[in-house]
Structure 1
Amino acid sequence: MPERLSARRAIALVADEFAELTCTTREFGPDGPLSWPGYDASRARAAARTGEDESVLCGTARIEGTDAVLIAFEFGFLGGSLGGRTGDRLEAAYLHAREHRLPVVSLIATGGSRMQEGMVALTQLQRVARQSVLTREAGLPQVAVLRDPTTGGGWATLGAGADVILALPGAQVGFAGSRVRPADADPAAYTAEAQVAAGAADAVVPEEELRATLGRWLRLLTAPSAEPAPPPGPLGATDLPATGWDAVWRARSPQRPRAQRYLDTYFTDRVAISGDRCGGTDDGMLCGFGAHQGRTVAYAAQTGTATRPAGYRTAARLIRLADRLGIPVLTLVDTPGAANDAEAERLGVGAAIAEVFGAVAAARTPVTTLVIGEGGSGGALALAAPGNTWVTPDSYFSVISPELAAAILKRPSEEVEATAGQLHIRPQDLEDLGIARTRK
């Protein structure tokens, strides 16, 4: 179990400067809205123990040079629980963020809603959700840091509802807190590490790296740009393939540069998002934000494998987030096609591909695509930008693989190579068709 940080220690861990916001909070009668016996005494003891008068501190902060609204929970004050006055403070913090165009960073440590205020406490989650939505619609990023513990409604609103979710190592994270989950539940499932593995959070970050990591995220997420991302230059072959089958073999070569190398060359700095927020991850889809020639570009890059449903959903999440923040998107296409096994079907691969098609189609921010290897059917086309797709000389793009095209047409295997030519899948063919431009 990690050491639990107080709210002020958590703030000091990440902020260069911090100024607490003041706001008017509601007044309750003796022992709160439910007249809960001993509630006032419990609050007084919590205040004496922590030096705070409520379970959350809200203020403005400078984090590695970027101004933000900072929310920090004090778990020592009645378990960091949300009550009516907590909701008042959180609402005021979000209002301040929108008024001053500031990102919101939440350092969460909470056991959920406050029992002594009953439904008054529980309905604060609706207030928080409303403020989060309004802030999202205003085009302002929200970053959550999950401390120990992050459970209940705090996880289900401020935490899981954030655009980027980071967590401290070993933190207890889950909707069900330790006192309400089944007795035989596996405790390992309720950890920061488990949430990242399940695609519900983006990364586990050690305390000593948290300030710098938050600083990088905030710099990248608060730098909108109306200009399209320029396509990377080719890192492999520069001459065009002679035949369709030559194009296929080049794209499938183990020596061909892959997405990781393109990203390393293109960006001077980058941070990754991970997971589809539906229980899945896909190592074959790399997504995140990076700095290119002094400005932020979002990226979604296939790595040459058959893309899983979680990969498509993560890419769609990335594109929608970039669109809200006004950040241009670069997609790198490299897949033999979407995963077509039974498990992929059970996980909704068709619906996941549809999400990406929809995200690209709806994007107001410019999207640039470079095909760097195999462009296999709709599983590749989903990431391609209509009118702004480029292809490298060692890539191809096809309605389906030549082997499967021959099978559909009931052709013998010896006609696969000829079929590749008939499909017009070479870079120069795609340019002639007006589908893409060759990147040389």
Structure 2
Amino acid sequence: MAERVSAREAIALVSDGFTEQQLADLPDAGDGPLGWEGYGAQRDRAARRTGSAESVVYGTALLGGTECVLISFEFGFLGGSLSERAGDRLEAAYGLARERRLPLVSLIATGGSRMQEGMIALGQLQRVARASVLLREAGVAHIAVLRDPTTGGGWATLGAGADVILALPGAQVGFAGSRVRPADADPAAYTAEGQLAAGQIDAVVPPGSLRETLAFWVKALAPAAVAGEREPVEPPRALGAGGEPARTGWDAVRQARGAERPRAEAYLDDYFTRREPLRGDRCGGEDPGMLCGVGLRDGRPVAYVAQGGTATRPAGYRTAARVVRLADRLGLPVLTLIDTPGAANDAEAERSGAGAAIAELFTTMAAARTPLTSLLIGEGGSGGALALAAPGNTWATPASYFSVIAPELAAAILKRSPDQVPHLADQLRLRPEDLVELGVVRGIVGPG
């Protein structure tokens, strides 16, 4: 279990300065909308104990020198539960972020909706959802930090609905709180680490690194950081030892499959001065072979989607589409790196919706208004690779190929013998030089 801290201790952990906002005083609510016996006295005791008038504190803060709107939950106030007055504060915080066009950061620690206010409390989830929609429409980012615990409606709205979801190690995270789960439920599924493995959050961040990590995200996603930047980024340079261009199609295939060829990690490290991951498809899956996130290139934030050389699984395509949609909404340029033998085609991939996931990425790329840049760094196997290609702005490295189908699979379909595979590779015209001549890619990048 993660260490539990107060709302203001959580604020001090991440911010360089905080100015709390106050709402106008409301009449004493007594025992609340349900007339729950003793509820008023419970609130009074919680206020004296925590120094907070409600379970939510909000205001403006500086994170690494970047101004943002900050929400922090006080778990000591009736379990950080959502009430009507807490909903007032959340709605006000979202509105302030939208009005001032500042990133919104939520430090969440809540057990869910406040039972003593019944359906009035539960209805706050709709208020938060509406505020979230308005914030998205305004192109303002929301970064959530899941403290211990983050359960119930707080997880299902503020937490899971954020653009970037970070969590503290060991935090309880799940829709079901610890007292209402099935007796035989696997406890690991309700942890930050379990949710990371299930593709539901982006990163588990130790407390000592949280300030620096949040400072990166608010700076990278602040509207001011991307204002006026509508030009595509340049493709990365080619990495690896130079050599003679592939003389044959089969030479190109062998070069692209070479074990010594630099992979996506090397290209991303060479291209960006700093980057942070965006992981998971938010549907219960993650593809380790699809690397996504946001990086800084000469100080400019750029979203990236990069295949790592493995067959891409449905969760990978869904994650890629999620990241491209986020970049499009916030105005970030996108860089994609293409390197896959193709889409995963095993039975589990089909059951997980491979076709729908690939279609989603194709349409997301086609609909994107933000500038896209793609670089083919290795294998370009069929539609599973083309789904990541920027229409009209795809480049290739010398050690790469792009093909409608792998030569070996072409031989199988055409009922050709294995010794015909190299000839088929030539017929497919899959070399980088062929791709330029055919208009499939714009050019071949060099090492400069």
Verify: 1:407 aligned to 2:375, yes or no: no
Contact 2:98–2:138, Cα closer than 8 Å, also in 1: yes
Contact 2:155–2:173, Cα closer than 8 Å, also in 1: yes
Post-superposition Cα deviations, 1:92-114, rounded to whole Å, max 9, x if no partner, equal 11111111000000000000000
Matched residue, 2:159: 159
The one of 242, 265, 277 equivalent to 1:272 is 277
Post-superposition Cα deviations, 1:10-42, rounded to whole Å, max 9, x if no partner, equal 000001010011223654643111111111001
The one of 361, 367, 376 equivalent to 1:362 is 367
Q: Distance in 1 between matches of 2:219 and 2:84?
A: 33
Post-superposition Cα deviations, 1:88-134, rounded to whole Å, max 9, x if no partner, equal 01111111111100000000000000011100000000000110111
Alignment of 1:345-424 (within 5 A): 345-424=350-429
Q: Distance in 1 between matches of 2:270 and 2:29?
A: 63
Matched residue, 1:226: 230
Matched residue, 1:431: 436
Per the alignment, in what secondary structure is the counterpart of residue 58 of structure 2? strand
Post-superposition Cα deviations, 1:388-423, rounded to whole Å, max 9, x if no partner, equal 000111000000101111111222211111000001
Matched residue, 1:89: 89
Contact 1:115–1:121, Cα closer than 8 Å, also in 2: yes
Q: Distance in 2 between matches of 1:215 and 1:303?
A: 28
Contact 1:296–1:327, Cα closer than 8 Å, also in 2: yes
Q: What TM-score, normalized to structure 1? A: 0.98
Q: What TM-score, normalized to structure 2? A: 0.97
Contact 2:249–2:426, Cα closer than 8 Å, also in 1: yes
Contact 1:287–1:299, Cα closer than 8 Å, also in 2: yes
Alignment of 1:186-225 (within 5 A): 186-222=186-222, 223-224=225-226, 225=229
Structure 1 letter corresponding to 2:171: A
The one of 344, 352, 368 equivalent to 2:349 is 344
Structure 2 letter corresponding to 1:51: G
Structure 1 letter corresponding to 2:314: P
Per the alignment, in what secondary structure is the counterpart of residue 319 of structure 2? helix
* Residue 2 (structure 1) shift: 2.3
Post-superposition Cα deviations, 1:254-282, rounded to whole Å, max 9, x if no partner, equal 01111111011000111111111011111
Structure 2 letter corresponding to 1:86: A
Alignment of 1:32-431 (within 5 A): 32-222=32-222, 223-224=225-226, 225-236=229-240, 237=242, 239-431=244-436
Q: Distance in 2 between matches of 1:86 and 1:139?
A: 24
Q: Distance in 1 between matches of 2:28 and 2:44?
A: 14
Q: Which moved more, 1:99-108 or 1:17-26?
A: 17-26
Cα pair distance change 1:232/1:239, threshold 3 Å: farther
Q: Which moved more, 1:24-33 or 1:141-150?
A: 24-33
Per the alignment, in what secondary structure is the counterpart of residue 170 of structure 2? coil
Post-superposition Cα deviations, 1:350-405, rounded to whole Å, max 9, x if no partner, equal 11111111111111000000000000000000000110000111000000101111
Per the alignment, in what secondary structure is the counterpart of residue 181 of structure 1? coil
- The alignment's C-alpha RMSD in Å is 1.0
Matched residue, 1:12: 12
Contact 1:271–1:289, Cα closer than 8 Å, also in 2: yes
Structure 1 letter corresponding to 2:380: G
Q: Which moved more, 1:21-30 or 1:82-91?
A: 21-30
Kindly tell me the number of residue pairs found equivalent between the two proteins.
440
Structure 2 letter corresponding to 1:190: Y
Post-superposition Cα deviations, 1:46-66, rounded to whole Å, max 9, x if no partner, equal 111111110000100000111
Contact 1:24–1:88, Cα closer than 8 Å, also in 2: no
Q: Which moved more, 1:86-95 or 1:217-226?
A: 217-226
Q: Distance in 2 between matches of 1:432 and 1:85?
A: 65
Q: Which moved more, 1:269-278 or 1:233-242?
A: 233-242
Q: Which moved more, 1:220-229 or 1:359-368?
A: 220-229
Q: Distance in 2 between matches of 1:109 and 1:88?
A: 17
- Segments of 5+ residues of structure 2 without an aligned counterpart are none
Contact 1:243–1:421, Cα closer than 8 Å, also in 2: yes
Contact 2:55–2:75, Cα closer than 8 Å, also in 1: yes
- Segments of 5+ residues of structure 1 without an aligned counterpart are none
Structure 2 letter corresponding to 1:60: T
Q: Which moved more, 1:260-269 or 1:183-192?
A: 183-192
Post-superposition Cα deviations, 1:63-98, rounded to whole Å, max 9, x if no partner, equal 011110000000000000000000001111111111
Contact 2:150–2:174, Cα closer than 8 Å, also in 1: yes
Per the alignment, in what secondary structure is the counterpart of residue 149 of structure 2? strand
Contact 1:25–1:88, Cα closer than 8 Å, also in 2: no
Q: Which moved more, 1:155-164 or 1:24-33?
A: 24-33
Per the alignment, in what secondary structure is the counterpart of residue 297 of structure 1? strand
Q: Distance in 2 between matches of 1:15 and 1:292?
A: 25
Per the alignment, in what secondary structure is the counterpart of residue 316 of structure 1? helix
Contact 2:29–2:40, Cα closer than 8 Å, also in 1: no
Q: Distance in 2 between matches of 1:71 and 1:33?
A: 25
Query: What is the percent sequence identity of the aligned residues?
Result: 70
